[in-house]
């Protein structure tokens, strides 16, 4: 059994491929490697080169493995399926397959209908039965595409989307075959939603194929939930603090993974606001050192 630790471009503020505030993709690779990581995610498709030769040369230069990639698109919006969600899914799968990466992560992106109730499960708007069925089927179709490309596909709950809270995640898991859809479990988003990450892990370790490590500053969480703060503004307020400084019990996360015989990658994701001054490389290094200090 081997647990490997990677990082992701979102830790450098990269959320959208064409955002002019993004750092250069080679800078992210270089700083990720300098911080002590051996693997990195693709980031939003289009951020890193889609030419496999160009990207392979850079990965080799910095001694990095491509772990996987995220499709962070509006699965909740039927009108955006063909040109947005499906396009992003196919391009991501193609890039991951070209590099022998393993993990495709599906995330329903933030919806204006759900953004104000991030962290407020009792108040969140729910889809009706017809809308939910179509939403579920789009996720299942994207998962099948990933499997057809030889990838392991995980659903990832995310603040402000329609798979945010634990009951929604478990409903989706009950309705889509585990042959097709696993879980990419994000410790921070589960805490943001108001649920216990370790308790969920203990119930569902058999279906968790991949981990995202985030920590949550409880004081910032209380403030942004109370004030219905926009997700990206919450990132700017530092809701995702360095690992070990928030309310996620990473020692118990480690114990749960070890007891289950988890084998594979756990990726640090410390979303930050690229418009604000910060030290993503210092944070990445501190996060790696913290994980090493508790046995990862």
| pLDDT of 228 higher than 70 | yes
Summarize pLDDT for 240-264 with one digit per residue, the tens: 999 999 999 999 999 999 999 999 9
Q: Which of 146, 36, 26 is nearest to 88 (CA)?
A: 146
pLDDT band at residue 146, thresholds of 50, 70 and 90? very high
- In tens, the pLDDT along 84-132 reads 999 999 999 999 999 999 999 999 999 999 999 999 999 999 999 999 9
Domains of the chain as residue ranges with CATH = 3-293 (3.20.20.150)
- Give the distance from CA 292 to its chain's centroid: 21
Where residue 232 falls among pLDDT bands split at 50, 70, 90?
confident
pLDDT band at 220 (very low <50, low <70, confident <90, very high): very high
Give the phi and the psi of residue 203 in degrees, each rounded to 5: -80, -30
Residues 234 and 70: their CA atoms lie apart, in Å, by 21
Put simply, whether the predicted model's pTM sits higher than 0.95 gets the answer yes
pLDDT, residue 231, reads 84
Burial class (CB in 10 A: 0-12, 13-18, 19+), 273: middle
User: Cα separation of 47 and 7, whole Å?
Assistant: 15
Q: Is the pLDDT of residue 230 over 90?
A: no
Task: Find the mean pLDDT for residues 24-49.
Answer: 97
CA geometry: angle 57, 9, 32, nearest 5 deg: 60
Predicted pLDDT at 235: 86
Q: Report whether pLDDT(1) > 70.
A: no
- The token duo for 186 is 């994000």
The answer to whether residue 274 scores a pLDDT higher than 80 is no
């Amino acid at each position: 059994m081997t647990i490997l630790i990677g990082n992701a471009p979102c830790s450098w503020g990269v959320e959208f491929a064409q955002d002019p505030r993004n750092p250069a993709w080679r800078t992210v690779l270089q700083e990720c490697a300098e911080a002590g990581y051996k693997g990195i995610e693709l980031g939003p498709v289009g951020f890193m080169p889609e030419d496999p030769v160009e990207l392979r040369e850079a990965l080799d230069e910095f001694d990095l493995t491509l772990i996987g990639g995220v499709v962070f698109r509006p699965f909740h919006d039927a009108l955006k399926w063909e040109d947005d969600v499906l396009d992003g899914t196919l391009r991501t799968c193609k890039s991951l397959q070209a590099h022998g990466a393993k993990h495709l992560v599906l995330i329903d992106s933030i919806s204006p209908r759900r953004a104000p109730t991030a962290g407020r499960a009792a108040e969140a708007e729910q889809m009706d039965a017809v809308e939910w069925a179509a939403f579920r089927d789009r996720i299942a179709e994207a998962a099948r595409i990933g499997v057809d490309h030889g990838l392991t596909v995980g659903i990832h709950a995310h603040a402000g989307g329609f798979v945010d809270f634990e009951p929604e995640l478990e409903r989706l898991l009950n309705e889509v075959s585990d042959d097709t859809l696993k879980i990419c479990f994000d410790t921070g988003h589960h805490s943001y939603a108001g649920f216990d990450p370790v308790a969920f892990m203990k119930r569902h370790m058999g279906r968790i194929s991949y981990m995202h490590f985030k920590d949550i500053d409880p004081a910032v969480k209380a403030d942004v939930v109370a004030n219905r703060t926009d997700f990206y503004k919450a990132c700017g307020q530092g809701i995702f603090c360095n690992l070990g400084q928030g309310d996620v019990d990473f020692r118990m996360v480690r114990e749960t993974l070890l007891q289950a015989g988890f084998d594979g990658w756990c990726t640090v994701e410390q979303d930050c606001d690229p418009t604000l001054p910060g030290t993503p490389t210092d944070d990445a290094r501190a996060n790696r050192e913290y994980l090493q200090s508790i046995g990862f």
